[in-house]
A = this chain, B = another copy of it.
Amino acid sequence: MTQLVTFGETMLRLSPPNGERLETADQFDAGIGGAESNVAVAAAQLGVDAVWLSKLPDSPLGRRVARELRGHGVRTGVTWDDSEDARLGTYYLEYGGAPRGTKVVYDRANAAITTVMPGELPVEAIQGASVFHTTGITPALSGATAETTAALLETAAEAGTTCSFDVNYRSKLWSPEEARETYESLFDHVDVLFVPERDATTVFGYEGSAVEIAHGIGTDYDFETVVLTRGEAGSLALHGGELHEQGTLPADTIDAIGTGDAFVGGFLSRRIHGGDVDECLAYAAGAAALKRTVTGDVAVLTHRELVEVLDDERGDISR
């Protein structure tokens, strides 16, 4: 039985080897990545029956997305766009150490998903699921994706499916004002909100300490759970009026892209399996740390590895 449904865009990801540049590299590593499918993959590897909904071009690159996700254990509910011009969004990732920094070049305009309509997706999957998850990237892609996001959240809410939403503000897609207006129009149906501290400030205007921000969000909106993610500084959850904190696990970073999605995937997987908020946060932090050790957008990991990491961590703390 489906436990988690996610909806969003997955792109082709192309990256030159570390130390080489997009201008000069002769080979690009090819993979796929997308916030919502990354979450589904992380959860699926942790034992969740997960489905990803989207629209893809009926092309080798579109099939590649479905193929890789299936390989990672995610079932796909995809509408295939067979129009001549249907394209897959693409992003180029250039790793770079300090002072250069890792950079992303997007080429995602007019991707097949930008024309998706609710009727093209198997919404019944959402109705029977435990959790429906999407992010603040999806409604930013086009009017159609904004509409479909709203419709799917409504469908989920009506069916009693828990709605999870990761703000994930992307400044290259829209302004903070536009984003806020759309986000707030969706929040009625959202039960679990993931929000990076930076977005809480940029988009929603919160200031002050992380605790103050979390309480601010808790006061202004009506979420069951608010999870504030703070990069190296760890994370914070407000649930039932109580604050839960979680540190970041030390990790040797090979590839930081997708860390936040692994965090959400870890959190939701534990929640679906009945964990309390502290457990959810611990799973989230563990999955995020493991993700950092693996090349690519998606967290290739096992439940056993995650448990070992958490056991080590607890061990270290108890001494």
Residue A107 contacts which of B24, B73, B87, B305 (CB distance < 8 angstroms)? B87
* Chain B residues with CB under 8 A of A100: 290, 293, 305, 309
Q: A28-B28, A30-B28, A172-B84 are in contact. Are A97 and B23 (CB under 8 A)?
A: no
A255 at the interface (CB under 8 A from B): yes
Task: With CB as the reference atom, state the residue of chain B lying closest to A98.
Answer: B252
Number of interface residues of A (CB under 8 A): 65
Interface residues of A in 274-297 (CB under 8 A from B): 286, 289-290, 292-295
Rounded to whole angstroms, the CA-CA distance of A105 and B305 in the bound complex is 14
Would you list which residues of chain A between 43 and 94 have a CB under 8 Å from chain B? 59-61, 63-64, 67-68, 70-73, 84-85, 87-88, 90, 92, 94
Residue in B31, B84, B109, B289 whose beta carbon sits within 8 Å of that of A87 in the complex: B109
Q: Chain A interface secondary structure, helix, strand, loop or mixed? A: loop
Query: Is A175 in contact with chain B by the CB < 8 A criterion?
Result: no
Which B residue's beta carbon lies closest to that of A64? B23
Asked if B25 and A94 sit within 8 Å, CB to CB, the answer is no
A201 within 8 A of B: no
Q: Judging by beta carbons under 8 Å apart, are B254 and A97 in contact?
A: yes
Chain B residue with the shortest CB-CB distance to A304: B58
* A67→B61 contact, CB < 8 A: no
In angstroms, Cα B90 to Cα A110, docked, is 14
B61–A92 CB distance below 8 A: yes
Q: Are A300 and B23 in contact (CB under 8 A)?
A: yes
Contact of A290 among B60, B94, B99, B110 (CB under 8 A): B99
CB distance from A111 to the nearest CB of B (A): 10
Residues from chain B with Cβ under 8 Å of A23 in the complex: 60-61, 63-64, 67, 300
| Chain A positions 302 through 315: 1 when the CB is less than 8 Å from some CB of chain B, otherwise 0 | 10010001001100
B residues near A154, Cβ cutoff 8 Å:
none
Contact B22 A61, beta carbon cutoff 8 Å: yes
Question: Shortest Cβ distance from A24 into chain B, in angstroms?
Answer: 6
Chain B contacts of A255 at CB under 8 A? 19
B252 and A97 within 8 A (CB): yes
Pick the contact of A60: B18, B67, B70, B105 (CB < 8 A). Answer: B105
Asked if B70 and A254 sit within 8 Å, CB to CB, the answer is no
Please measure, in the bound complex, the distance between the C-alpha atom of A290 and the C-alpha atom of B23, giving whole angstroms.
Answer: 15
Q: Is the CB of B110 within 8 A of A109?
A: yes
Given contacts A60-B22, A71-B71, A255-B19, contact A289 B110 (CB under 8 A): no
| Given A25-B30, A109-B87, A251-B98; A67-B59 close (CB under 8 Å) | no
Considering the chains assembled together, what is the distance between the CA atoms of A249 and B100 in angstroms?
A: 11
Q: Is there contact, CB below 8 Å, between A99 and B30?
A: no
Residues of A participating in the B interface, judged by any CB pair closer than 8 Å: 14, 16-31, 59-61, 63-64, 67-68, 70-73, 84-85, 87-88, 90, 92, 94, 96-100, 105, 107, 109-110, 172, 249-255, 286, 289-290, 292-295, 300, 302, 305, 309, 312-313
Pull 18 A–B residue pairs with CB atoms less than 8 Å apart, ordered by A.
Answer: A20-B294, A23-B67, A23-B300, A26-B26, A28-B30, A60-B92, A61-B92, A70-B73, A84-B172, A90-B90, A97-B292, A97-B293, A99-B286, A99-B293, A99-B309, A99-B312, A100-B290, A100-B305
